[in-house]
Amino acid sequence: MRTDILNKKGQLEIGIKIMVLIVFLVLLIISLIVYFRFSYSSLRETKEEILEEKFSSLVNVIANLPELKCSITNIESECLDARKLVAFGQVLYEDTDVKNNYYEELEINSLVVKIVYPEVAGSIECDESKLINCNVFNLFSLKGDYSDEGLKYTTPVSVYIPDNGKYVIGKLVVTSNA
Amino acid sequence: MHNKTFKKNFYKKMKRKGQAEIFGLIIIVLLLLFSLLFFIKIKQEDTSSVTLRSNFRVNNLLNAVMKVTVSNVDGSIEAPMRDFLRRCLDNVNSNTDSCGHEEELLQNIFGKTLRENEKYKFEGFVSGEPTPLIDLGEGCEEGISASPARFPGGYEFRLKICYS
Amino acid sequence: MNKKGFAVMFSWIFAMIAGVIILLSLVYFSVQHTDLFGRVSAQVAVEELDITFGSLKSSLIGTTLELGKPIKLEFKCNEDTLEKEKLYINKKAGKSLKGKVVFAPSELKSNSFSLFTLDWNVPFKVTNFIFLTDKKYNFEGVIPLGLLEKIPSNIDIIDPYGEEISFEESENGNCMDNSGKKIFYKKQDTLGEYYGKICFDETVYTFVGDAMIFAAIFSDENNFKCLKDYAEIKARDVAEIYAKKIENFASSPHSCAVMGINSEWVREVDFNVMESVKEIKQTNDRLVRIGECELIF
């Protein structure tokens, strides 16, 4: 009789311990899942913030490149020179080495300046003989077709047209994969 | 009799033991919950401050607006926008004219340079007056402001782009 | 079977298993957290520094980077790779500094770094050189006039017990073994910049531009040579763009092509030879004097 009771007691205790172990393991697994989810989303946020900051900064760096910026004997003013924009686009189109150097430096898919004010109807590419009444400066394209693939980052820019001495407003558009 | 007492005591003891075990489990659960809450709280405190990126954009836009070459109503005069704005501020200040044409030009420019539905506030001040003589845009509580564009004669222009 | 006895044993087994699992979990997480936060912080820091350097390419500033605790920065420049200069933080995270020309010693360890920028003009502006150091310097000899004024007033790098840099106002100095860093210089009035020779012991480098003097001061020989070559590649690209701009002058109503400007002069300029650089500046200055002409730069 006493043995019976002790056996039943033992069984009960074994059962309780097994239940405790199961509950403990379940709680542990839930905690691990929650922890890793938080870590992952926190890291992803950090990555997105860094990318946003990086490309916003990059857009500003491009807008300040001395080979694009208005200047008189190295004294710069806050605008892009249309003649320099055309020369830049032509050199990068014609010279693969220079294009590769800029790609290494900037790591972007395409770089375009679009004139938004005053408005010009249609999409007219600017070149060395046409700086007035045009509205697109194609500066760089990895694929060569200036297609708009990837994430876009833009900043407004002032563009100086040397042919008529006027300033227009454009958007510097950077397209990138990252 | 003896057996009954023994059984009674046995089950009482077992019940207390079970209660103690459940109590222990509850403590573990509570500890885990508090750790989780603490962890979440720490994560929430780690907020990033606003970066400088929008500052570039709004500064670039204000600079471009000040420089852009525009013309008067009949197109007979062309000059940078800042010159037109300064002249119209003088006119408003002396009640001789308004800035209607200039405001229309500005609205057109902001419409083309800002994102759709992006709100802004553009203000023009003269001679330290606290009230803007040019006041465009809906404005907002939270946004990023450009460094004001100041010109000799006490002219000041401010631009703010709102967070979406 | 005596299940009560077995229950007692099971208690012990359970306690040991649970204890071991908890202990292992704690050890795992503490190791992971230390390593993870160390790596993530270092990687975030390297990305932030990279972004900072990128912004400094277009700004002339001087500042001091104050960090909460000492960190180790390593700048490694490898001429043979496309990536050139790389930055490492605490040996945990690294990144290629593409497009940024940062002159610094190969290794720095401090919680405070002096940082400033200066544009390199040959004669057109190529880029800003970024200078970073945790050291002080002792300038000996005849220091170039105006050189110290180019260091921002909030940057303090002069110390009589610092690394010795010798200066001599001469075009024809000789670099000698064990002479350390020595700079022979002359001022070119047309250009408004210094030019001359930089010695790292007996190895000589000719230079044009004030920024190159600081480049030699702040970096060791390996980084200096590697980054100087990189800067010249960048200058060559910029020269191509200006050469194309000159060729496009023919379409400009303000072209002064009659002045005989030749795009090939710009393409073939030697950025280490003062005479070559000066020719471009003189041509540009002629266009300025005429007025109403589009300029080369």
Q: What SS3 string covers chain C? A: CCHHHHHHHHHHHHHHHHHHHHHHHHHHHHHHHHHHHHHHHHHHHHHHHHHHHHHHCCCCCEEEEEEEEEEEEEEEEECCCCCEEEEEECCCEEEECCCCEEECCCEEEEEEEEEEEEEEECCCEEEEEEEEECCCEEEEECCCCCCHHHCCCCCCCECCCCEEEEEEECCCCCCCCCCCEEEEEEEECCCCEEEEEEEECCEEEEEECHHHHHHHHHCCHHHHHHHHHHHHHHHHHHHHHHHHHHHHHHHCCCCCHHHCCCHHHHHCCCCCCHHHHHHHHHHHHHHHHHCCCCCCC
pLDDT at A57: 78
* Residue found under tokens 């277009």: C58
Taking CB atoms and an 8 Å limit, are A49 and B48 in contact across chains? yes
Does the beta carbon of C17 lie under 8 angstroms from any beta carbon of chain A?
yes
Q: pLDDT for C277-290, tens place per residue? A: 998 998 888 888 88
- Structural domains of chain B, count: 2
Digit-coded pLDDT (tens) for A135-156: 999 999 988 777 767 788 889 9
Backbone phi, psi, residue B137, to 5°: 95, 160
Give residue C50's pLDDT. 77
Q: Could you tell me which residues are beta bridge partners of residue C89?
A: C73, C93
- Indicate the pLDDT class of residue C84, thresholds 50, 70 and 90: confident
Asked if A107 is an interface residue toward chain C (Cβ–Cβ < 8 A), one would say: yes
- How near does any CA of chain A get to the CA of C193, in Å? 13
Residue C8 has pLDDT above 80, yes or no: no
- Confidence label for B140 from pLDDT (cuts 50, 70 and 90): confident
Label the pairing between strands A75-81 and A151-161.
parallel
Taking residues C200-211, what's their average pLDDT? Answer: 92
User: According to the model, what pLDDT value does residue C208 have?
Assistant: 94
0.90 surpassed by pTM? no
Could you say which of B31, B47, B63 is where a domain stops? Answer: B47
Instruction: Flag if B56 and A59 touch (Cβ within 8 Å).
Output: yes
Of residues C240 and B29, the one with the higher pLDDT is: C240
Same domain for B73 and B131: yes
pLDDT at A88 over 90: yes
Average pLDDT over residues A40-53: 74
Distance CA B70, CA A167 (A): 9
Select the residue of B39, B53, B69 nearest A166 (Cβ to Cβ).
Answer: B69
In angstroms, the first-to-last Cα distance of chain A is 76
Contact at CB, C14 and A105, closer than 8 angstroms: no
DSSP A83: H
Pair B87, B101 in one domain:
yes
Residues of A in contact with C7 (CB under 8 A): 9-11, 13-14, 17
Contacts with A, C 98-157, CB within 8 Å:
98-99, 119, 121, 123-127
Q: CA torsion sign, A120 to A122 to A125 to A130? A: negative
Enter the tokens of residue B74. Answer: 């009949």
Range of the domain at B142: 53-162
What residues 101-160 of chain A have any CB closer than 8 A to a CB of chain B?
Answer: 116-117, 119, 155-158
Quick check: ipTM above 0.85? no
Q: Which residues of B touch A (CB under 8 A)?
A: 3, 6-7, 10, 14, 18, 21, 24-25, 28-29, 32, 35-36, 39-40, 43, 46, 48, 51-54, 56-57, 60-61, 63-65, 67-69, 78, 80, 108-109, 112-113
C-alpha count within 13 angstroms, C-beta hemisphere, residue A129: 0
How does A79-100 read in b/e, with b if 16+ C-beta sit within 10 Å?
bbbbbbbbbbbbbbeeeeebbe
CA C68 to chain centre: 23
Residue A45: what pLDDT? 73
Q: Are residues B67 and B126 in the same domain?
A: yes
Cβ A166–B112 below 8 Å, yes or no? no
Of A21, A74, A162, the CB nearest to C14: A21
Q: Pick the residue from chain C with its C-alpha nearest to A47.
A: C44
Task: Please list every residue in chain A whose beta carbon sits closer than 8 Å to the beta carbon of residue B46.
Answer: 42
Nearest in space to C239 (alpha carbons), one of A101, B164, B75 = A101
> Which of A169, A172, A174 is best to mutate for the B interface (most B CBs within 10 A)?
A169
The rounded distance, in Å, linking the Cα atoms of B82 and B133 is 14
More confident residue, B83 or A26: B83
CA distance B114 to chain A (A): 9
To test the contact with chain A by mutation, choose from C58, C122, C284 the residue with the greatest count of A C-beta atoms within 10 A, namely C58
Pairing of strands C101-103, C125-133: parallel
| Beta bridge pairs of residue A172 | A113, A155
The answer to whether residues C88 and A90 touch, using CB atoms and an 8 Å cutoff, is: no
How deeply is C47 buried, as exposed, middle or buried, from its count of CB atoms within 10 A (0-12, 13-18, 19+)?
buried
Residue B47 pLDDT: 44
Q: Which residues of A touch C25 (CB under 8 A)?
A: 28
Q: Are residues B81 and B134 in the same domain?
A: yes
Q: Where are the domains of chain C?
A: 241-290
Q: What is the average pLDDT across C263-276?
A: 90
Lowest mean pLDDT among B147-151, C52-56, C126-130: C52-56
Nearest CB among B21, B39, B64 relative to A20 is that of B21
pLDDT at residue number C100: 85
Long-range contacts (CB closer than 8 Å, 24 or more residues apart) made by C31-38: C36/A39, C38/C90, C38/C92
Of A38, A49, A167, the CB nearest to B69: A167
- Residue B50 pLDDT class (50, 70, 90 cuts): very low
Q: Do A169 and B64 touch (CB under 8 A)?
A: yes
Mean pLDDT, residues A3-22 taken together? 81
CB count within 10 Å of CB C24 equals 10
Residues B27, B79 within the same domain = no
Facing C295 at nearest CB: one of A28, A72, A87: A72
A76–B contact, CB cutoff 8 A: no
CB distance from A18 to chain B under 8 Å? Answer: no
Tell me the pLDDT band of B44, cut-offs 50, 70 and 90: low
Residues B94 and B57 in one domain: yes
Percent of chain A with pLDDT over 70: 98
Q: Can you tell me the distance from the alpha carbon of B10 to that of B123, in angstroms, rounded to the nearest whole number?
A: 86
Chain A nearest-CA distance from C205, in A, is 24
Q: Are C96 and C56 in contact (CB under 8 A)?
A: no
